[in-house]
């Protein structure tokens, strides 16, 4: 994914470092969405940033004299559109701000960055995204899926992993409960592979093809602690079979499920074709 910083951003980053030394905004970052996350042409893009200033953001509620702005454009356009962000929540000692890039922009790719301003001295801060990528950030814009697609998920409780109860899959889409309780998974072939599970999930027409997901075990109480799994829905067919995942990204070591074999004698086969 491309990375570039406009002259405006580059100059402002220098100012941000200088302002830190002067005791203004000490840090900003944890920006979402990360660089490279796909959205569809009908999605509003919710943008978040966190800000820390000693003695200001660590108090309850919104810290005084801090503002945040989204700057976005279609990649290649000459000018950025500016949207002021609103205070959203306290996150530990940080204040979190939220703004929305509305659908209908007509971009094949959205380019954006976030600018935080300390009104006490005009100092500015430009933070990284949650993956540590520096600005500017680029979001591919895709079309929604053209038909219902049933996706089969496979999980192997690899290595020494065990579970005290059922397992689930959850993720970024409504049909995956949007990081909620998740959907139950079932034994794929318990006798041959007792730690291998599957779930069939139908993503309806009009879905965002980009999917992030995780697994939960111990009656769906314990989350994977590693990074999200992800894939793009292939809507060229109504069914899609994903490769088997290992819990916590471990190498899957569950035995394969044996393919059913119809046992016929040669005499029976010959009789069929007589």
Read off the pTM. Answer: 0.67
Among 134, 139, 153, which Cα is nearest to 212's?
153
Distance from C-alpha of 109 to C-alpha of 147, rounded to nearest angstrom:
23
Q: What is the DSSP string of 166-217?
A: --EEEESSGGGTTSSS-EE-EEEETTTEEEEEEEEEEEPTT--SEEEEEEEE
- Return the SS3 of 83: strand
Residue 12 has pLDDT above 60, yes or no: no
Task: Quote the pLDDT of residue 259.
Answer: 64
pLDDT, tens only, 116-171: 999 999 999 999 999 999 999 999 999 999 999 999 999 999 999 999 999 999 99
Domains of the chain and any CATH numbers: 7-142 (2.60.40.10), 149-249 (2.60.40.10)
Residue 101 has pLDDT above 60, yes or no: yes
- Return the SS3 of 24: coil
Task: Quote the pLDDT of residue 258.
Answer: 79
- Percent of residues, the chain, with pLDDT higher than 70: 86
Task: Quote the pLDDT of residue 24.
Answer: 77
Task: Quote the pLDDT of residue 270.
Answer: 43
Query: Are residues 148 and 175 in contact, defined by beta-carbon separation less than 8 angstroms?
Result: no
Task: Quote the pLDDT of residue 265.
Answer: 47
């Amino acid at each position: 994914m491309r990375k570039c910083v406009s002259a405006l951003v580059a100059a402002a980053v220098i100012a941000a470092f200088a302002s830190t030394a002067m005791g203004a905004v000490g840090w900003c970052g944890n920006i979402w969405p990360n660089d490279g996350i796909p959205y569809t042409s009908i999605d509003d893009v919710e943008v978040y940033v966190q800000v820390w200033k000693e003695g200001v953001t660590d108090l309850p509620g919104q810290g005084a004299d801090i503002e945040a702005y989204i700057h976005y454009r279609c990649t290649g356009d000459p000018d950025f559109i500016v949207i002021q962000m609103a205070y959203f929540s306290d996150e530990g000692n940080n204040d979190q701000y939220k703004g929305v890039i509305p659908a209908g922009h007509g971009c094949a790719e959205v380019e954006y960055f976030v600018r935080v301003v300390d009104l006490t001295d005009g100092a500015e801060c430009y933070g990284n995204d949650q993956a540590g990528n520096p600005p500017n950030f680029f979001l591919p814009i895709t079309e929604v899926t053209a038909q219902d697609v049933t996706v089969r998920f496979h999980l192997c409780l690899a290595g020494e992993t065990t579970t005290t109860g059922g397992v689930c899959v959850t993720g970024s889409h409504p049909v995956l409960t949007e990081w909620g309780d998740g959907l139950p998974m079932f034994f794929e072939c318990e006798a041959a592979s007792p730690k291998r599970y599957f779930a069939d999930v139908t993503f309806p027409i009009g879905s965002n093809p980009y999917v992030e997901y995780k697994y939960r075990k111990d009656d769906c109480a314990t989350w994977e602690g590693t990074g999200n799994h992800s894939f793009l829905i292939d809507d060229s067919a109504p069914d899609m079979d994903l490769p088997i995942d290992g819990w916590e990204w471990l190498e899957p070591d569950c035995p394969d499920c044996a393919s059913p074999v119809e046992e016929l004698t040669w005499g029976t086969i010959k009789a069929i074709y007589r």
